[in-house]
C-alpha cells in the first residue's frame, strides 16, 4: 500500500509528544522522530484531547477578560487613567512533555497546563516554530526520513549478514584446521604403529633366519664330525609299545646291522601292552638314549619285546638263563635223589617256557627264594628310597611355614638332597640290562617297579 496517498490525521506521539501525521488504517506506526512504535488511535485521541483543552482554555481566558471581577473597583472612564490591556497569546510547545499550549508572549516564564513544568516562553515558542516547520514539511521530510531509516536498517542487515558470513567461514576454517590436524595425528600414529610393527616383524624374521642358519651350520658340523655314524633322531621312548618287527625294520633302514631280538614273558595283566610290543631298546647297553645321540653302524642293538606266556614251546635260552634254570633244576633233582652228574652232561639244555612262567608267578605271589640276593637288596633299597622320597614330598606339600624360616630351609635342603639321590638311583636303574636278568630277577624288578608306581599315584591322589 502506498502510504503517501492515504489521508492522514493529526496526532501526538505518546513518547516524544511531537505532532505527527497518523494513518488511521494502520494500528501501529513508528514515530519518525524518536522511532518508537505507537498506537495510531491513541495518538489521534491524544491530539484531539490536547486541542480540546486548548480551546477550552482560550474560551475561559476570553470570558475572564470580558467580565469584571467582584472585587474590581469602579473608576470613572473619564477621570481614570488610560490603561492598555494588550494580551497576546501565541501557540507554543512545552519543552518537557511536548504538549501544545497557548502562552502570553509578554511573559518570560510560564507553567505547562499538562505536566505543570515551569519553562521559558522563548524556548517553548521556538519549539513550536520548529515543530510547525516540520509539520508543513511533513510529507517531504517523512519520506526522506523513512528512506534513510530503511536504508540504515538495510545497511545494518547487510553488515549483520556479512558478520555472520565471516563468522561462519571462520568456523568452517577452524573445523577444517582441526580436521586436518586430526588427520595428521592419525596418520602419524598409524605410521608409528606400522614402523613398530614392521620393525618387530623384521627382528622376528631375522631371528628365525639367524637361528635357522645357525641350526643348519651346527647340523652340518655335527654330520661332518660324526661322518659315517648314525643319528636316530628319536629317543628310546619312541620305540616302546611299537611292534618289534616295525622297530627292527626301522633300525635296519637307518643302517644298523647288529640287531638282537630278546623275548620276555612278563606281559602286564593291566594296560594296553600287547604281545610283540617292544618293552625296551638298548644300543651298546644304553637303554635311555636321546634323539641327539650318534652311534656307529656296527653298534649292538638289543630289542626286548613281550611274548604270550601261555604258548608252550621250547626255546634255547642264553647262557645266563640256562645256568640259572639249570641250577634250579639241579637243586630240585638233588632233593628228589637224582645225581647231579646225570644232568650236567647235557650242555645244550632246553627249558620249557612253562617253568619260566611258574617262576615269575611264584615271585608275584611272594616267593623270593629264586631272586638273586644282591639284586633283591638293590631293588629293596630302591623301593625304600622312594618311600623316603614320597614322605619328603608330603612334608614339603603339607607344611605351613609361616614365619619359621629355619623350618623352610631344612625342608628345602632335604628336598634337594632327595633330588640328588633320585638322579643317582635313576642312573643305577637305567644301567640294568633287563635282557640279562633271570626270570625271577626280571619278575621281581617288575614287581618292585609296579609297587613304586602305585605308591607315587597314591601320593599324588592324596
Residue pair 304/281 in contact by the 8 Å Cβ criterion: yes
For residue 367, CA distances in Å to 146, 323, 328, 358 come to 138, 20, 14, 11
Are 301 and 386 in the same domain?
A: no
Task: For residue 2, report the phi and psi dihedrals to the nearest 5 degrees.
Answer: -90, 110
pLDDT tens sequence across 413-440: 887 888 888 888 888 888 887 777 888 8
Average pLDDT (8-33) is: 87
pTM for the complete prediction? 0.29
Runs of H (alpha helix) within 107-264: 121-136, 138-225, 244-254
Is residue 159 in some structural domain? no
Residue 92 contacts by C-beta under 8 Å, 6 or more apart in sequence? 100, 101, 102, 103, 110, 121, 124, 125, 127, 128
Strands annotated E in 240-298:
258-264, 278-283, 294-295
Q: Which of 110-119, 168-177, 271-280, 310-319 is predicted least confidently? A: 310-319
| 293-304 exposure pattern, b = at least 16 Cβ within 10 A, e = fewer | bebeeebebbbb
Nearest Cα residue to 287 out of 240, 351, 338, 349 = 240
Give the residue-averaged pLDDT of 254-258: 88
Q: Is residue 358 part of a domain?
A: yes
Domain count, the chain: 2
What is the reported pLDDT for 57? 66
Lowest mean pLDDT among 68-82, 187-201, 221-235: 68-82
Grid cell 623350618 — which residue? 407
* pLDDT tens track for 377-396: 988 998 898 888 888 888 77
Q: Are residues 387 and 285 in the same domain?
A: no
Band (pLDDT 50/70/90 cuts) for residue 85 is very low
CA 413 to chain CA centroid, nearest Å? 46
Q: Which residues contact 139 (CB under 8 A, 6 or more apart)?
A: 4
Cα dihedral 278, 282, 283, 289 sign: positive
Q: Is residue 217 part of a domain?
A: no
Whether 161 is in a domain gets the answer no
Q: Which domain holds residue 377?
A: 352-462
> What CATH number is given to the structural domain containing 279?
3.30.10
Please provide residue 416's backbone torsions phi and psi, each rounded to the nearest 5 degrees: -70, -35
The cell numbers describing 91, all together, are 501557540
Last-in-domain residue among 308, 330, 361: 308
Percent residues over pLDDT 90 in the chain: 9
pLDDT at 192: 93
- If 0-12 CB within 10 Å is exposed, 13-18 middle and 19+ buried, where does residue 381 land? exposed
Amino acid at each position: 500500500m502506498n502510504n503517501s496517498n492515504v489521508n492522514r490525521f493529526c496526532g501526538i506521539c505518546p513518547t516524544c509528544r511531537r505532532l505527527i501525521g497518523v494513518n488511521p488504517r494502520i494500528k501501529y506506526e513508528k514515530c519518525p522522530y524518536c522511532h518508537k512504535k505507537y498506537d495510531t488511535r491513541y495518538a489521534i485521541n491524544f491530539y484531539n484531547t490536547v486541542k480540546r483543552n486548548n480551546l477550552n482554555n482560550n474560551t475561559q481566558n476570553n470570558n475572564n477578560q470580558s467580565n469584571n471581577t467582584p472585587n474590581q473597583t469602579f473608576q470613572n472612564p473619564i477621570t481614570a487613567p488610560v490603561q492598555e490591556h494588550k494580551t497576546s497569546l501565541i501557540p507554543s510547545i512545552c519543552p518537557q512533555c511536548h504538549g501544545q499550549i497557548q502562552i502570553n508572549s509578554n511573559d518570560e516564564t510560564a507553567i505547562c497546563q499538562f505536566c505543570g513544568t515551569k519553562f521559558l516562553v522563548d524556548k517553548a515558542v521556538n519549539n513550536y516554530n520548529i515543530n510547525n516547520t516540520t509539520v508543513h514539511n511533513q510529507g517531504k521530510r517523512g519520506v526522506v526520513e523513512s528512506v534513510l531509516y530503511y536504508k540504515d536498517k538495510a545497511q545494518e542487515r547487510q553488515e549483520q549478514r556479512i558478520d555472520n558470513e565471516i563468522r561462519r567461514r571462520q568456523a568452517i576454517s577452524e573445523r577444517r584446521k582441526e580436521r586436518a590436524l586430526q588427520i595428521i595425528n592419525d596418520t602419524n600414529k598409524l605410521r608409528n604403529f606400522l614402523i613398530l610393527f614392521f620393525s618387530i616383524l623384521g627382528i622376528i624374521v631375522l631371528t628365525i633366519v639367524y637361528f635357522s642358519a645357525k641350526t643348519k651350520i651346527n647340523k652340518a658340523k655335527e654330520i661332518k664330525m660324526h661322518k659315517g655314524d648314525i643319528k636316530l633322531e628319536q629317543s628310546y621312548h619312541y620305540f616302546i609299545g611299537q611292534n618289534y618287527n616295525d622297530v627292527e625294520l626301522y633300525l635296519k633302514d637307518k643302517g644298523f646291522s647288529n640287531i638282537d631280538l630278546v623275548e620276555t614273558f612278563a606281559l602286564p595283566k593291566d594296560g594296553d601292552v600287547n604281545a610283540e610290543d617292544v618293552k625296551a631298546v638298548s644300543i651298546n647297553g644304553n637303554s635311555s638314549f636321546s634323539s641327539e645321540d650318534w652311534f656307529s653302524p656296527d653298534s649292538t642293538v638289543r630289542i626286548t619285546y613281550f611274548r604270550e606266556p601261555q604258548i608252550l614251546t621250547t626255546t634255547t635260552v642264553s647262557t645266563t638263563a640256562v645256568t640259572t634254570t639249570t641250577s634250579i633244576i639241579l637243586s630240585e633233582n638233588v632233593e628228589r635223589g637224582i645225581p647231579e652228574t646225570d644232568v650236567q652232561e647235557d650242555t645244550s639244555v632246553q627249558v620249557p617256557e612253562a617253568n619260566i612262567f611258574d617262576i615269575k608267578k611264584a615271585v608275584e605271589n611272594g616267593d623270593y627264594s629264586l631272586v638273586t640276593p644282591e639284586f633283591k637288596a638293590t631293588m629293596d633299597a630302591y623301593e625304600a628310597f622312594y618311600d623316603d622320597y614320597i614322605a619328603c614330598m608330603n612334608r614339603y606339600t603339607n607344611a605351613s611355614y609361616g614365619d619359621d624360616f629355619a623350618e623352610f630351609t631344612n625342608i628345602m635342603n632335604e628336598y634337594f638332597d632327595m633330588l640328588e639321590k633320585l638322579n643317582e638311583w635313576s642312573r643305577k636303574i637305567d644301567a640294568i640290562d633287563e635282557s640279562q636278568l633271570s626270570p625271577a630277577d626280571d619278575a621281581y624288578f617288575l614287581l618292585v617297579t609296579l609297587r613304586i608306581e602305585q605308591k607315587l599315584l597314591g601320593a599324588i591322589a592324596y
